[in-house]
Amino acid sequence: METPPLAPGLYIVATPIGNLGDITARAADILARCDVIACEDTRVTGKLLNHLGIRKAMRRYDDHASAEMRERILGEMAEKSVVLVSDAGTPLISDPGYRLVREARERGLSVTSLPGPSAMIVALTLAGLPTDRFLFAGFLPSKDKARGDALAGLAAIPATLVFYETGPRLVASLEAMAQHLPGRELAVARELTKLHEECRRGTPEELIAHYTAHPPKGEIVLLAGPPPEPAAPEADDIDALLRAALAHASPSQAAGQVAKAHGLDRKALYARAMALKSQA
Ligand code: SAM
């Protein structure tokens, strides 16, 4: 039976990252009913469409596509329903589409997004690292110096860091993390949703040893847990901190400053600040 046409505009559609069973019902429906599909690689998307029993006009599109191709697709969006997919996962997440979406919105065209799989989210749910705050940083640079600089720039962020990675570069990235993200728990999530799915968590040294002995195959997400909490200062150090603060502040203010800077109990610090002041 013929499916009814869709309203014109851009439909951003997430597709599986390995397991074809992860296509959503809505994604399959929109792929079946749209007029045109813009995709990174017509062979890769052709396989998904074959699996779904769908035949559609496809346009090859990536962020380096010619201005003419982008113009052609934008022109079609005014009158036709255009789906944007990437080879796998959610378009625009380390994948093409940003310029197309931006331009479509600027022209007042309808843009909607159908959620589905993304390797970064699957990895976060699997790794057992804190997920209340995370930063997705895409692929690290491949050159040693640039990779080290990128990690050094991220080191102070109090969040789990998520990177896309490849097998041949994994050990070099783990070594760079050992150097630039010291003391952090790391996780390697590999071949997600596929037969050989694996998620391994550990110190940089443990993971370096494992993946040097077992060079990893397939697709990888690399995660680094948040930076370790700074150790609480010793009693002598607390006295020194309070004395320094008391040099220019009242006991109450000194206690407040030290409590805030070191995450300590203000009341106890105030009592100690009063005692130090009376000794002075
Ligand atoms: N847009 C995709 C998404 O939403 O996940 C990501 C595209 S990016 C070009 C491809 C990278 O995603 C791979 O190099 C790998 O780091 C990660 N990736 C994709 N599928 C994966 C899988 N099944 N398991 C682990 N990582 C995967």
- Structure letter (DSSP) for residue 21: G
Ligand 1 pocket test target in 94, 95, 165 with most atoms within 8 Å of CB: 94
Q: What angle do CA 203, 205, 208 make, to 5 degrees?
A: 110
From the list 271, 273, 233, the residue with the least C-alpha distance to 254 is 273
Average pLDDT over residues 194-209: 97
Q: What's the CA-to-centroid distance between 237 and ligand 1, angstroms?
A: 47
**Tens digits of per-residue pLDDT, 80-95?**
999 999 999 999 999 9
pLDDT for the residue numbered 234:
83
**Tens digits of per-residue pLDDT, 119-152?**
999 999 999 999 999 999 999 999 999 999 999 9
Contact 208, 178 (CB under 8 A): yes
Look at residue 103 and tell me whether its pLDDT is greater than 90. yes
pLDDT for the residue numbered 2:
61
From the list 12, 20, 10, the residue with the least C-alpha distance to 193 is 20
Residues with C-beta less than 6 Å from any ligand 1 atom: 17-18, 86, 88-90, 93-95, 118-120, 164-166, 189-194, 219-221
pLDDT for the residue numbered 259:
87
Residues 6+ apart with CB under 8 A from 279: none
Average pLDDT over residues 154-167: 97
Look at residue 1 and tell me whether its pLDDT is greater than 60. no
pTM beyond 0.75: the answer is: yes
**Tens digits of per-residue pLDDT, 40-91?**
999 999 999 999 999 999 999 987 888 889 999 999 999 999 999 999 999 9
Q: What's the CA-to-centroid distance between 169 and ligand 1, angstroms?
A: 15
Instruction: Return the CA Rg of the chain.
Output: 26
Question: How far apart (Å, rounded) are the C-alpha atoms in residues 123 and 95?
Answer: 17
